[in-house]
Structure 1
Amino acid sequence: MSDQDSLRILHCFRSPVGGIFRHVRDLAEHHHKAGHKVGILCDSTTGGAHEDALFDNIRPYLDLGLTRTPIRRSVGPSDLIAFIRCANEIKSLQPDIIHGHGAKGGAFARLIGSRLRVSRSRVARLYSPHGGSLHYSSSRLSGKFYFALERWLEHFTDGLAFVSDYERKAYLEKVGATKTRNRLIYNGLLENEFNDIVPDNSAADFLYIGMMRQLKGPDIFINALIRAEQITGRPLTAVMIGDGDEKAKYAEMLLQSGRSERVTMHAAMPVSQALKLGKTVIVPSRAESLPYLVLETLAAGRPVVATNVGGIPEIFGPDSGALVPPEDEEALAQAMALSVQQPEKLNEYMPDKSELRNRFSADGMAERMIAFYRECSA
């Protein structure tokens, strides 16, 4: 690829954890290998040893470097300082594309990109919500505020890239009809992630992987586990893997319920490693966009029970027996009991792996994203 065809791409997001971080890492690697120059700008106060290791893995693909600066989750006065720091850094990188991910990253990317446009830069400004502000209710004052803000920010947007049809529909419903171009570009997996992963002989009955925060439903998982023990009439084991500010609260829940010996908690680790520790993965989220965890687990040939939220039905099909209503602990407990008593029945609900490979490919995701970048640049 000639220098003229090569794009300078900067990804801007707040928290380097979870699905957003995974999404950006995959795009960075694929686009670097395709001859483009990629950089990342994100928060410096989030993440731990696991995330540091992931950054080390992708540094060779970041020709525009890695910039980390404090960016708080909530809106506040500190945003002005963060905005100025980010604006100065982005100006020096001279990107052709600035792609904001999540609510805070999307706002910074589009406003800073617009500031550069005043200086005659031709940078294209893109935004991917990844759930973000779309998780708020339109009936609440906080939701109305964020949706009005999203509506205003669309004036500074050249393209909206959604990772699920649910996300696109939620945007249209809560923010309004888009006045700029938009595309549905599914998250994708690497080819080696479609290899089966067999659980260890000592694997627990159930596995929770994710952020330790209310949105992801660790409390629902714990309560459903207790109820599943009543249904099956025997003790059940589980492993909970992840980090977050609320982790101590869930550890206390386990202690108070008398399950702390049968349910172990671990820090965040690669999903491929985590999948060896449990037999059935439970995704009890109250809200999601298109979670990589579900895709990675299914690609590894492992069963999943998940809540019917966000883009998850786009993976399984809306009527799959593996899906339960959100915040329905009884339904989740029944599905967990089924996975123990009739595991072959749960396996029947899993989507075909070859179909997953065709629909959720990292190569295809990266190619479609570059095509969209070029369209937005034009």
Structure 2
Amino acid sequence: MQVKRKLRIVHCFRSPVGGIFRHVRDLCDAQMADGHAVGIVCDSTTGGDFEARLFAEIEPRLALGVKRTPMQRHVGFGDLVAAWRTFNIVRAMQPDVLHGHGAKGGVYARLFGTMMRLFGQKPARIYSPHGGSLHYDAATMTGRVFFALERMMDRFSDHILFVSEYERRTYERKVGRPRAPNTLVYNGLNADEFVTVATAPDAADFLYIGMMRDLKGPDLMIDALALTEKTTGRKLSAVMIGDGDDRDAYVAQAKERGFGDRITFLPAMPARAAFGRGRIMVVPSRAEAMPYIVLEALAAGRPLIASAVGGIPEVFGANSPALTAPSENAIADRMGFALADEAAFQALMPEQADLRARFGADVMARAIETAYQASLSRRA
């Protein structure tokens, strides 16, 4: 029997927050359990106390460590010094697999993996878009620049991993059919996440968990809550949990809509500690790839209203009554629908057995390792 090769794996990405960081941590755990040596390279200027605690938890277990260095959000001339510094960090880690996540991580992984050939190293260059630059409008100058860069970098990719069929279709439409081998691998949850979280006795009517930025739709949630209150004639409440530069603007918006004392804003916390704080969860995103928070909430048995964007319909089914357009009117309509019969709305959520089979962390990790090993075999 052939012994599986143990690898040196480096995950490279910019911002250690949200779904990308969650995805990388899960992969690190699975890959370490398989005996691989794993490391992380990411930006040192983003993330707060919550992320610092997550790093403190995982760093001692990573054989290749955590290397944090300043990384600009966009690729440009001002990024050259940061890129060269990051390249030297990655090269010193001597990876067999260099896995880039998101737009910046994807550029770095494929560029650095190619440059390392000059030093006798030939890591497999793996790219996971996680939405990233695919969110840009192809009709804008920014979009055209990013998609031209994606087309160029495709030539230096050994494998592309898409987290949803939507993401793959978007890549083909905006960038082109990938030359590199590619695989659809859904984000996955750990076994202990498929346990129901109870609703707190003092839970609010609605719950938002996510980054405080317009892309995620906190403003839509607040306006939809105001509309729902008007149409139902009920005094409603919400809890909104997350960090971000726009948080103060949403606090002000809540006060302007008359919810100053009925929308509670809390900092980022582990999702399972937050789920019980609201009876019905809302994911009002304007754009997504395959958000972890949707999978986590459903695995925890939470009823959920979600925007029908990105890969979210692939979780629920395209015709699910839980799906909505990302607008305050459409979200308010779903809020009223859910409030009318909460038990019936709960029954509309996907079956737990189906979720486990499609979105298990073990399923995700096996598929990604298969892509790693195939890429290394082709390079050999």
2:223–2:257 contact (8 Å) kept in structure 1:
no
CA distance in 2, matches of 1:4, 1:262: 56
CA distance in 1, matches of 2:85, 2:153: 20
Shift in Å at residue 345 of structure 1? Answer: 2.6
Q: 1:225-279 deviations in whole A, cap 9, x for unaligned?
A: 0001011101100000011111111111012222110001011000000102111
CA distance in 2, matches of 1:47, 1:376: 32
- Amino acid paired to 2:360: S
Q: 1:36-62 deviations in whole A, cap 9, x for unaligned?
A: 010000011111111011112212331
Structure-1 residue corresponding to 2:123: 123
2:229–2:236 contact (8 Å) kept in structure 1:
yes
Shift in Å at residue 342 of structure 1? Answer: 1.1
- Amino acid paired to 1:194: F
CA distance in 2, matches of 1:339, 1:81: 52
Structure-2 residue corresponding to 1:210: 210
CA-based RMSD: 1.4
Structure-2 residue corresponding to 1:177: 177
- Amino acid paired to 2:368: M
Structure-1 residue corresponding to 2:347: 348
- Amino acid paired to 2:313: P
- Secondary structure (helix, strand or coil) at the match of 1:156 reads coil
Normalising by structure 1, report the TM-score.
0.97
Structure-1 residue corresponding to 2:264: 264
Structure-1 residue corresponding to 2:199: 199
Dislocated runs of 4+, deviation >3 Å = 1-4, 75-78
CA distance in 2, matches of 1:113, 1:6: 19
- Amino acid paired to 2:98: I
CA distance in 2, matches of 1:24, 1:303: 27
- Amino acid paired to 1:367: R
Structure-2 residue corresponding to 1:339: 338
Q: Which runs of 5+ in 2 are unaligned?
A: none
1:193–1:296 contact (8 Å) kept in structure 2:
yes
- Secondary structure (helix, strand or coil) at the match of 2:202 reads coil
Shift in Å at residue 4 of structure 1? Answer: 7.7
CA distance in 2, matches of 1:210, 1:188: 18
1:232–1:341 contact (8 Å) kept in structure 2:
no
CA distance in 2, matches of 1:194, 1:4: 30
User: Equivalences for 1:18-97 in 2 at 5 Å?
Assistant: 18-97=18-97
User: Equivalences for 1:97-112 in 2 at 5 Å?
Assistant: 97-112=97-112
- Amino acid paired to 1:22: R
Shift in Å at residue 3 of structure 1? Answer: 9.6
Shift in Å at residue 217 of structure 1? Answer: 0.5
CA distance in 1, matches of 2:151, 2:68: 28
1:216–1:284 contact (8 Å) kept in structure 2:
yes
1:231–1:334 contact (8 Å) kept in structure 2:
no
- Amino acid paired to 1:237: S
Normalising by structure 2, report the TM-score.
0.97
Q: Which runs of 5+ in 1 are unaligned?
A: none
